[in-house]
Amino acid sequence: MSVISHAQAWSHAGNEVGVLVLHGFTGSPTSVIPWGQSLSRNGWTIQVPLLPGHGTSWQDMNKTTWEDWYGEAERAFDELSATCSTVFVMGLSMGGSLTLRLAQQRGSKVAGIVLVNPAVHSERPDRFLLPALQAIVGSFPGVSNDIAKPGQDEGAYDRLPLKAAYSLTKLWSAVKRDIGKVTQPMLLFRSAQDHVVEPSNSAWILANVSSADITEVVLRDSFHVATLDHDAEEIFDGSAAFVRRIVAG
């Protein structure tokens, strides 16, 4: 199945500072391309990949696993690393989970990470039923477009593919198991009101990473997809300042 036009990957060729920007579960590059475009104005090289199973149909996503999504993130990271001397990774929601995994696996090759409403677990009451449900039910109603700002569309599925959701929980388990391996400078943005990812996610990450350089910013006027919301410029400007500070040493 062909990729929906608005869900295409995006990239920008720039200098030797590279930034990988990752979208969320069931979402698409649409949700983070404005972030990448803003960063590109600093002259940096940017990659915003489309993760496997996304940008087509939720049925396609049920044919993929977290290893597929991580594999594409890893591929894009390696592509940046081939031309850039310094590479940062940033992610929204599940993109934050993948960012943490790259930090764990690639160590000092990741110069720093920026997380926006990252997820490492769920408090949904039905989460305990997921292992059984995913074998017999294809999807649940979606969790897309949790955005306070009117007129925004993140380009996500309107259904939640359960086989893929079950695989997502395995990614979370891997990230949590190795959380102590995250040592890079970290900037974390968290929405005060998020109807998708509970605040306990950010709290757990902040309490368990081994990073010495940590900054948390609470977004007061945005919901989950904050990169398209009222506080987007705060994320964009804060991310750019973070990169400049780390590069300057």
Per-residue confidence (pLDDT) for residue 83, from 0 to 100: 96
Sign of the Cα torsion 103, 107, 108, 109 reads: negative
Is 224 among the residues known to form the active site? yes
The pLDDT assigned to 103 comes to 98
Confidence label for 119 from pLDDT (cuts 50, 70 and 90): very high
* Digit-coded pLDDT (tens) for 9-47: 999 999 999 999 999 999 999 999 999 999 999 999 999
Please identify which of the residues 93, 167, 202, 222 carries the catalytic annotation.
93
Residue 77: is its pLDDT beyond 60? Answer: yes
pLDDT, tens digit, for every residue of 148-187?
Answer: 999 999 989 999 899 999 999 999 999 999 999 999 999 9
* pLDDT, greater one: 131 or 196: 196
Q: 118: domain CATH number?
A: 3.40.50.1820
Of 31, 167, 194, 239, the catalytic one is: 194
Residue 67 pLDDT grade (very low, low, confident, very high; cuts 50, 70, 90): very high
Write the CB contacts of 5 (distance below 8 Å, at least 6 apart in sequence).
Answer: none
> Is 194 among the residues known to form the active site?
yes
Look up 93 and say whether it is catalytic.
yes
Total domains in the fold of the chain: 1
Catalytic residue among 144, 224, 231, 239: 224
First to last CA, the chain: 45
What pLDDT does 246 receive? 98
If you average pLDDT over every residue of the chain, what do you get?
A: 94
When pLDDT is cut at 50, 70 and 90, the band that residue 132 belongs to is confident
Confidence at residue 128, expressed as pLDDT on a 0 to 100 scale = 65
Distance CA 53, CA 50 (A): 9
pLDDT of residue 115: 98
d(CA 175, CA 95): 12
Q: Quote the domain boundaries for residue 53.
A: 5-248
Q: pTM for the complete prediction? A: 0.95
> Residue 198 and residue 27: Cα distance in Å, rounded?
18
The C-alpha atoms of residue 74 and residue 160 are separated, in whole angstroms, by 24
90 near 239, Cβ under 8 Å?
A: yes
d(CA 25, CA 118): 11
